[in-house]
Structure 1
Amino acid sequence: MVVKFSKLKAIVAATSLTVLFSVPLQVYAQETLDEAGLLAALSDSDPNEAIRLDRSLQALWSSSGSPAMDLLLKRGKDALDRGETQMAIEHLTALTDHAPKFAMGWYERARAYFNAGLYGPAVADLERTLMLNPNDYNAIFALGAMFEQFNDPKNAYDAYQKAQAIHPHHEAITNALDRLMTAVEGREL
């Protein structure tokens, strides 16, 4: 019986090593990429890979490093999802007060302000977001949407182009650029 058990251990070990070395090393490398690595990979990715990289970036950017601040972010986002804009603003204001260097808090509060029709504070929070994280393509896209709201298609188009340079496969950005192309670049004769 002891002999059979030791053979089983050897078989399990050999199988584990075979599986370990047959998995592409690229998977492990991408999981350990930092923000710069994720952004570089995103700009060169195919559409399917872009989805995974986007999720990784959003997870990275949504982590404040403090469980209490992460809870405030979650409560603010949940309130926004439920349509409780004022409650979202309160949670997100507490977050930006206590974690002023956490860009995602400013971005989410900008979304809440926009939903409340408070466009000036929304733009100010988007500017603060981009000061803290200039690569946040969702914040750049939101700024473009604000320019569109103000009937400024040229600045909206420029913002969308900047966002697309970071995330070339972002569907909403591509749709916005297609929508504004004729208005900004004119028609070809």
Structure 2
Amino acid sequence: MPAMRFSIPLILACFALSAPLSGTPLLAAEPSAQAEVASLATPKERLDALFAELKKEGDEEKARQVADRIRLEWQDSGSATVNLLMQWANTAITDDKHAVALDILDQVIVLAPNYVEGWNRRATLHYQMGNYRKSMSDIYRVLAIEPRHFGALAGMATMLETSGKNELAMRAWQQFLDIYPSDRKAQEQLGELAEKLAGSRT
């Protein structure tokens, strides 16, 4: 099969929807809602509550705050060792030591195969290294673990579109918006794709 061509700035922006937030201050969320979510016992319960909040939040800025809290939940593996390895991987990526970062992320996945951000971070790194098929393969693993992973859906949609698979890309954006309906960029991407497909059928 021919090699796929992608727009690097666009797809990295999409992957950034779920990028690590270390050192990034979160905007103030509604205190009562935040306290209610924090009081829930398990990560799954907290995520379910946050996704319910994200789906019904019509204000773009407030929805972004909820999405940030979801990302924070995803980042915590529940293992101090895995969390430390993720920090090392992020440092290696920042230092452009991609091969080192890939080795570390491989170890993260071996140690915690159900840790969604291990797969997601490796998908992003594979893309940066030009390993496009491996990137898509890792995205599929992310979505198998967490079908609501809007960052992975955005990355998938962009890769599908840039490889000419516009109908599949539109489905991915529709899935994204079903989870995160107030994201304006996703709305724009879906609208542009719909117009493109409509034009190709006339």
TM-score normalised per structure 1: 0.79
Quote the offset at 1:86 in angstroms.
2.1
Quote the offset at 1:64 in angstroms.
0.4
1:32 aligns with 2:39: yes
Q: Is the radius of gyration larger for structure 1 or structure 2?
A: 1
Alignment of 1:49-88 (within 5 A): 49-88=62-101
Post-superposition CA distance 1:128-180 (Å, at most 9, x none): 11111111011111111121231111111110110111012334423322332
Q: Which residue of 2 aligns with 1:157?
A: 170
Quote the offset at 1:24 in angstroms.
6.8
Quote the offset at 1:28 in angstroms.
2.5
1:89 aligns with 2:96: no
Quote the RMSD (CA, aligned, Å).
2.3
**Whole-Å separation in 2 of the counterparts to 1:174 and 1:66:** 36
1:128 aligns with 2:161: no
Gaps of 5+ in 2: 1-29, 41-45
Q: Indicate conservation of the 8 Å contact 1:157/1:184, yes or no.
A: no
Gaps of 5+ in 1: 1-22
Report sequence identity in percent.
Answer: 23
How many residues were matched structurally? 167
Secondary structure of 1:50 counterpart = helix
Post-superposition CA distance 1:30-64 (Å, at most 9, x none): 44351111001001112122122111100111110
Q: Which residue of 1 aligns with 2:113?
A: 100
Bigger relative CO (Cα 8 Å, ≥ 6 apart): 2
